[in-house]
Amino acid sequence: MADAGGACCSLRLPDDSLFLGLDCSTQSLKATVLNAGLGIVATDSVHFDSDLPHYGTHGGVRWDPAERGRIVSPPLMWAEALDLLLARLRPRAELRRVAAVSGSAQQHGSVYWANGAGAALAALDPAQSLAPQLAGAFAAPESPVWMDSSTAAQCREVEAAMGGALRLAALTGCRAHERCTGPQIRKMHQKRPQVYDATERVSLVSSFMASVLVGGYACIDETDGAGMNIMDIATRQLREDALQATAPNLEERIGKLAPAYAVAGKIAPYFVQRFQFASSCLVIQWSGDNPNSLAGLTLSNPGDLAISLGTSDTVFGVTDLPEPTLEGNIFPNPVDPKTYMVLLCYKNGSLTREDLRNRYAERSWDMFNRLLEETAPLNGGKLGFYYKEHEILPPLPVGFHRYIVKNLTSGSLDELVEEEVDEFDPPSEVRAIIEGQFLSMRGHAEQCGLPVPPKRIIATGGASSNPLILKIMASIFGCPVYTSQRSDSASLGAALRAAHGWLCNQQDDFVPFSSVYSGRLDRTSLSMKLAVPFGDCEGDTELLNNYTLLVKKRLEIEQKLIERFGQ
Ligand code: XUL
């Protein structure tokens, strides 16, 4: 049982058990299988564009040519990917030993199940694959996803009905961002009423995948549920006023919410017969990818900051006293009912870095690195703002903006002056996109009440394997940077949450998350590696002071850009 200090000693995962974590991200579906000692038994993935080309996605999504900013993915593709991934995994992991499965998914996206789909889910036939059986299950064959930016009008309506953006943030965890599920549902109700009327249930991507696995509608978990603008962040219940402000008869379509560590159900007979899962295998509630990464990185102390560099770039940390702001998102911590996580999300992540690489570094990461090495920290005051996609933070439309900040060595913000320019030389463009993102992250993290400088940063996501990028991160934030031994923190977090949910179920009570991994951090898949120390080199502190000034200048320029171009 849990002791008074929250650590657990006598809880054990059964020796021969396995725990499966899945991550349905924007571009792929990934799996991590852990054994009871938290060692990795197998990993695998299905890449939507290349493995399932018949859905015609690009980066896992489709841009609607008929409506600017409308970005969708077909939910049937996610279901087909699940079949394919389990088929690939089966020869390498004994799925009958899986005691529990849980998952992670891109946040905010919404799936519209057609009338009668619940019955179809309950009757899945193991003799046929999922795709033909679920093809008719959707009122909308395309789900709006987090990249969508077509709901500005609905966002303003929801905010007005709820007493303003900041009040909505204080009540539900964030203002109405265009990707939030509530405004997305409102738009569906307004613009495609025939779809909304034919919908018996709305799932998030996370609860959609859990629903397929249990063969019936799974609850939305309270953590991912906080990304909807409908749930009260304090009580973790749907808010009547927010439901009303969103769409009629919505409560029955959303269903009940459940904690992230709860059991969603037993795995459906379809998976037992087709993939040889045990019929006792538990499906633990799925949650969002960022909350799962928080779990996978075992982030627990205020001052620990995670930066994930992926399709979206995100910054997140744990807090017990969340401060609502217009910029961040507050979610309940998926593995600790007493605390919250604060998240900042940037839409222009890896795809925009790739675009700059293609323009200025001959489409090569080696060349990109060489150009980074050729340029000095602070980039001679060159600040770039690169929005290949309509950005969330700051809310700005597509466009590139470049400035040269002069008098950086004066040490005073008042003395800094900026000059707008059309282009930099290629090496400066490359440094400007990397430095610019971290300057922005640092400035906004501070504004959201996350401790700056952090005690440490844990870097994750594709670009975190680049030591030059991590060095810049350490210099700008003024702290050491660690990397996780595993690059896929979201599916790892989901596997750990599967083990956590299994233990909570066995104890019939919440048990501290640390009881899953206590005493094993250094020996398992969870160990962290110091990638870049901070403060060892002469000049680190002076450089940090200059970056501090540049952060302030950047926020000032962002504000001016919002006044000029923001909608
Ligand atoms: C977070 C967000 C993105 C997606 C990416 O609010 O929208 O990070 O979760 O998958």
Q: What is the pLDDT of residue 567?
A: 65
287 and 361 share one domain: no
Residue 93: Cβ-neighbour burial (10 angstroms; 0-12, 13-18, 19+): buried
Work out the number of other CB atoms within 10 angstroms of the CB of residue 365. 13
* b/e 14-49 (16+ beta carbons within 10 angstroms → b): eeebbbbbbbbbbbbbbbbbbbbebebbbbbbbebe
Mark which of 278, 294, 310 sits at the end of a domain: 294
Query: Which regions of 142-300 does DSSP assign to beta strands (E)?
Result: 143-144, 199-204, 220-221, 257-258, 263-266, 282-284, 287-288
- The predicted pLDDT at position 280 comes to 98
Per DSSP (E only), the strands in 10-167 are 18-24, 28-35, 40-47, 62-63, 71-73, 98-105, 110-114, 143-144
As for how many domains the chain has, the answer is 2
pLDDT tens readout for residues 334-352 = 999 999 999 999 999 999 9
Closest ligand 1 atom, residue 107 Cα: 9
Q: What does the pLDDT average to over 232-259?
A: 98
Lowest mean pLDDT among 94-103, 218-227, 296-305, 410-419: 296-305
Distance 197 CA to ligand 1 centre (A): 28
Residue 8 clears pLDDT 60, i.e. is over it = no
92 and 241 in one domain?
yes
SS3 content of the chain, % helix, strand, coil (to 5): 40, 20, 40
Residue 1, pLDDT > 80, answer no
How many angstroms separate the alpha carbon of residue 255 from the centre of ligand 1?
22
Ligand 1 nearest-atom number relative to CA 26: 10
Whether 255 and 378 map to the same domain: the answer is: no
Do both 360 and 443 map to the same domain?
A: yes
Tell me which of 48, 151, 290 to substitute to probe ligand 1's pocket, judged by most ligand atoms within 8 Å of the beta carbon: 290
For residue 425, the domain's CATH number is 3.30.420.40
Gap between the Cα atoms of 91 and 82, Å rounded: 15
Q: Which atom of ligand 1 is nearest to the CA of 177?
A: 6
Q: Is 59 left (phi over 0), alpha (psi -120 to 50) or beta?
A: left
Pocket residues: Cβ below 6 A from ligand 1: 25-26, 106-108, 146, 179, 227, 288-290, 312, 314, 329, 343, 345
Question: In angstroms, what is the span from residue 347 Cα to ligand 1's centroid?
Answer: 8
Residue 285 sits in the same domain as residue 172: yes
Residue 165 lies in a domain: yes
How many whole angstroms from 311 Cα to the centroid of ligand 1? 9
Q: Which domain holds residue 364?
A: 350-454+535-565
Last residue of a domain, one of 294, 316, 335: 294
Q: What is the mean pLDDT of the chain?
A: 94
Per-residue pLDDT reduced to its tens digit, 489-534: 899 999 999 999 999 999 999 999 999 988 777 766 778 899 999 9
Three-state secondary-structure class, residue 444: helix
Per-residue pLDDT, 522? 72
Does the pLDDT at position 324 exceed 50? yes
Q: Is the residue at 483 inside a domain?
A: no
Question: Is residue 123 domain-shared with residue 262, that is, in the same domain?
Answer: yes
For a ligand 1 pocket test, name from 174, 179, 184, 286 the mutation site with the most ligand atoms within 8 angstroms of its C-beta. Answer: 179
The pTM of the whole model exceeds 0.85: yes
Strands 263-266 and 18-24: unpaired
Q: How far apart are CA 173 and CA 495, in angstroms?
A: 26
d(CA 329, CA 326): 9
| Count of CB atoms situated within 10 Å of the CB of 563 | 8
Which residue is listed with tokens 């171009």?
Answer: 565
Is residue 10's pLDDT more than 70?
no
CA 230–ligand 1 middle distance (angstroms): 17
pLDDT > 70? residue 230? yes
Domain end: 273, 294, 315, which one?
294
Do 414 and 283 share a domain, yes or no?
no
In the reported structure, the alpha carbon of residue 180 is separated from the centroid of ligand 1 by a whole-number distance in angstroms of 10
Atom number in ligand 1 closest to CA 308: 8
Atom of ligand 1 nearest to the CA of 314: 8
d(CA 107, CA 67): 22
In a domain, 555, yes or no: yes
Residue 300 identity (one-letter amino acid): S
Choose which residue among 22, 71, 104, 146 to substitute to test ligand 1 binding: the one with the highest number of ligand atoms within 8 A of its C-beta: 146
State which ligand 1 atom lies nearest to the alpha carbon of 147.
7
Q: Is residue 487 part of a domain?
A: no
Same domain, 432 and 560: yes
Which atom of ligand 1 lies at the shortest distance from residue 311's CA? 5
**Residue 52: inside a domain, yes or no?**
yes
Most confidently modeled of 35-39, 309-313, 417-421? 417-421
Distance 519 CA to ligand 1 centre (A): 31
Do 209 and 357 share a structural domain?
A: no
Is 94 contained in some domain?
yes
153 and 284 share one domain: yes
361 or 318, greater pLDDT = 361
Write down the pLDDT at residue 4: 32
Ligand 1: which atom is nearest the Cα of residue 329? 6
Among 309, 389, 291, which residue's Cα sits nearest to residue 71?
389
Ligand 1 centroid distance, CA of 147 (Å):
8
3-class DSSP state for residue 172?
Answer: helix
Q: Is 471 inside any structural domain?
A: no
Distance 375 CA to ligand 1 centre (A): 32
pLDDT of residue 6: 40
Rounded CA Rg of the chain: 23
Q: What's residue 301's pLDDT? A: 77
Distance 422 CA to ligand 1 centre (A): 31
* Residue ID of nearest Cα to ligand 1 atom 10: 106
Q: Is residue 233 part of a domain?
A: yes
- Centroid of ligand 1 to alpha carbon of 403 (angstroms): 29
Weakest-pLDDT range from 137-146, 225-234, 319-328, 428-437: 319-328
Rounded mean pLDDT, 126-153: 98
Q: Both 166 and 69 in a single domain?
A: yes
Same domain, 120 and 215: yes
